[in-house]
Amino acid sequence: MRDRDYLGEFEHIIVLALLRLDDRAYGVTVRQEIELRTDREVSIGAVYATLDRLETKGYVTSHRGDPTPERGGRSKRFFRVTAKGVTAVSRTHRALQNMTEGLGSFGVTYDVATPSR
Amino acid sequence: MRDRDYLGEFEHIIVLALLRLDDRAYGVTVRQEIELRTDREVSIGAVYATLDRLETKGYVTSHRGDPTPERGGRSKRFFRVTAKGVTAVSRTHRALQNMTEGLGSFGVTYDVATPSR
DNA sequence: CATTATCTATACAATATAGAACAAATGTTT
DNA sequence: AAACATTTGTTCTATATTGTATAGATAATG
């Protein structure tokens, strides 16, 4: 993998969730944060699969937390964004910004076509 | 396909390019615009594949232009974003914004981990 | 040992990417 | 003007990477 890659759409969202959650970021909270802030349903498997890939790529790290004293308190796997990860979000973010700037709030200002079907 | 879907990362970029280029948007200019504004190499095949997919989903339409009187002036296939397409960018854009807001310029403010490997 | 929360494994669908092949126009050569 | 070269543009084919859901395994408490 070239280290110039951009984050995929969902990867992007996930990394942002980690940054927001700071040291409270683990599978379940990540999912919640996304469902809360975007109006989108997320399957937990999707979250873990993506987190694993991000870890493989060196964009995040994970470590086991201690079990908490609650029923079902299995130990959590906490995630954290690496410096490399931050670089990647920034790059992705910047690209999007460069493409967007000057467009106004599209959909209002720009007249559009209708689908053929 | 549910009409609640988000644009993939590259789809997003492509649609933004179309909006910028307005009525000058066809394969080659789309590619140029992206390479110009993001610091990214784009293969022409990727552009068309994505444009086709977007058209199938009703996010863009295309029509043939007349051949132009220049060397190599083969007729172009012009693309245009549909209302549905604009809705989709907006939705994608908003989701990203909601996830980003309050984060400051990440990378500066947030302290990060180092990759395990 | 039933219940709860979390994580893992796996499979499949959708998206992204590269590159070569093909097409249509004009320019050049003889 | 026929043949061939050059330029610009599109299509096709193949493959890799991302995104997604589901089912089931684990580890804790009551």
Condensed to tens digits (0 to 9), the pLDDT of residues B59-107 reads 999 999 988 888 878 899 999 999 999 999 999 999 999 999 989 876 5
CATH of the domain at A59: 1.10.10.10
Tokens of A25: 């970021």
Integer Cα distance of B9 and B46 in angstroms: 12
Domain boundaries, position B43: 9-100
| Run of H or E residues at B79 | strand B77-81
Is B108 within a domain?
no
Enter the DSSP assignment of B26.
Answer: B
Residue A69 confidence (pLDDT): 73
Beta bridge partners of B85: none
Integer Cα distance of B13 and B15 in angstroms: 6
Is B111 within a domain?
no
How close B71 gets to chain A, by Cα (Å)? 30
Is B116 within a domain?
no
| Run of H or E residues at A91 | helix A83-100
State the total domains in chain B. 1
Residue B15 CB in 7 A reach of strand C? no
Is A111 within a domain?
no
Is B94 within a domain?
yes
CA-nearest of B2, B68, B90 to A41 is B2
Residue B67 confidence (pLDDT): 83
Is B3 within a domain?
no
**Which residues of chain A lie closer than 8 angstroms to B86, CB-CB?**
106-107, 110, 112
**In chain A, which stretches have pLDDT less than 70?**
1-3, 106-117
Is B109 within a domain?
no
**Which residues of chain B lie closer than 8 angstroms to A89, CB-CB?**
106-107
Average pLDDT of the residues in B38-58: 96
Q: What is the mean pLDDT of chain B?
A: 89
Is A3 within a domain?
no
With CB atoms and an 8 Å threshold, state whether B95 touches A13.
yes
Residue A2 confidence (pLDDT): 62
CB neighbourhood size of B99 (10 A)? 21
